[in-house]
Amino acid sequence: MRMFRKATGLFCLVNSRGWKPPFIAPLRSPVLDSPFPTRGFAVMLTEDLQQRSARTIMNTYARLPISLVRGKGCKVYDAEDREYLDFVAGIAVNALGHGHPDLVTAIERQARHLLHTSNLYYSEPQVLFAERLVAHSFADKVFFCNSGAEANEAAIKLARKYSFDKYGPDRHEIITMNNSFHGRTLATLTATGQAKVQQGFAPLPQGFKYADFNDVASIERQMDQRTAAVMLEPIQGEGGVVVAEGAFLEQLHALCRDRDVLLIFDEVQTGVGRTGTLFAYEQYNVRPDIMTLAKGLGGGLPIGACLATDDVAQAFGPGSHASTFGGNPLACAGALATLNALLDDRLLERSRAAGAYLHKGLQTLQNRFSVVTAVRGLGLLQGMELSIDGQSIVQDCLARRMLINCTMGNVLRFVPPLIVTNEEIDRLLDVLSGVLTKRLESLPHS
């Protein structure tokens, strides 16, 4: 038998055949006392969920030992109704936080009308969303898909097709950066400049070279007559929250123009307001030829996009690329609501101010704690590098009901919803201060 907590506030036992014994334990659930009850859903207790997950789901994630069941704003609640402050936001996905009314309304309305049609037919939500993206970016055309990896796959194919049409089959190589991250498909895994994520998947696709981030000379050394494009992230999120230098991007842009090489910006993590502007490239005197988006694009719905100028986009014709689910009505309706909220509700301005406040607070911690070796980032994509293991800090914060993330083993990453308040940032800083104080006390003194 397994125990479920139902949103009615009662605990009940259910056996493997779905039969419920006549006895219902008269225990009131704290869910009923919450201002945001999970109405109509049975909530499985975390321990049971972990065991069943281990039996049925492939072991590809190192999950933390909590089960999140609902959220509101920047807060989430687990199956035992404990509250957490969320500075992960689904890894930079929940741009509007949890349960934003505009997003919920858009999803509910579209779900009542039409969920999916395929791209054999025209779709109004898709066209409206594409028009909004084009109006607020450098791009002229958009291709919709379902994730960041798919968006980057589209960018890789588009760059190669453009170069094939213009120069022939020998010009197909793409230069990416060391410590980059572009996805988990075979092509994007190869584009990712980290050997650890490629291990065990050989033979990898050919046609990729690697250069050092923030080093134009390193990129130029890799360029030759076979180079079709250079692909990079304005901020290497998975690579430790390393920010591109303005002079680097300007020099790279000039180099690409001189060699007629396409410049691709992977803004899967930095796009959609994450850095304080709608797209990170806006903070540099540079416009790419191709840009990829996902994560925050749908506010929590799975959607990705590859944007390009007209000159480049014309390389794709019917049959050259496709996606069954890409740009479906439900995802585009939610994404349009997300984008409208960012543009119309002054959330970009708020996120810039919140990002500056968070950055300053993290710098204060750096001045106080010797184990904090660097603070870097733009907007609400901030990183704090440590001289000690970062994952243990993540665990300590979890115990204090604070959700954060760690990359590269020792860089704490903070990507809260763009609606985060200064008070919520203060709570994060207080938790980090307490955790670091305790950790320093436990370290051996020389």
Instruction: Indicate which residues carry an active-site annotation.
Output: 181, 266, 295
Tell me which residue has tokens 């170069």. 163
Q: Are residues 13 and 44 in contact, defined by beta-carbon separation less than 8 angstroms?
A: no
Place of tokens 């499985």: 44
CB within 8 Å of 100: residues ≥ 6 apart = 299, 341, 419
Give the whole-angstrom CA distance, residue 63 versus residue 74: 20
How far, CA to CA in Å, does 384 sit from each of 242, 299, 372, 407?
A: 10, 25, 7, 10
C-alpha–C-alpha distance, residues 377 and 269, integer Å: 12
Gap between the Cα atoms of 245 and 291, Å rounded:
18
User: Which helix H or strand E contains 86, and what residues bound it?
Assistant: strand 83-86
Give CA–CA dist 414/50, Å, rounded: 26
Instruction: Evaluate whether 409 touches 385 at the Cβ level (below 8 Å).
Output: no
Which residue, 280, 195, 180, is CA-closest to 239?
Answer: 180
CA angle in degrees (0–180, nearest 5) for 229-128-108: 115
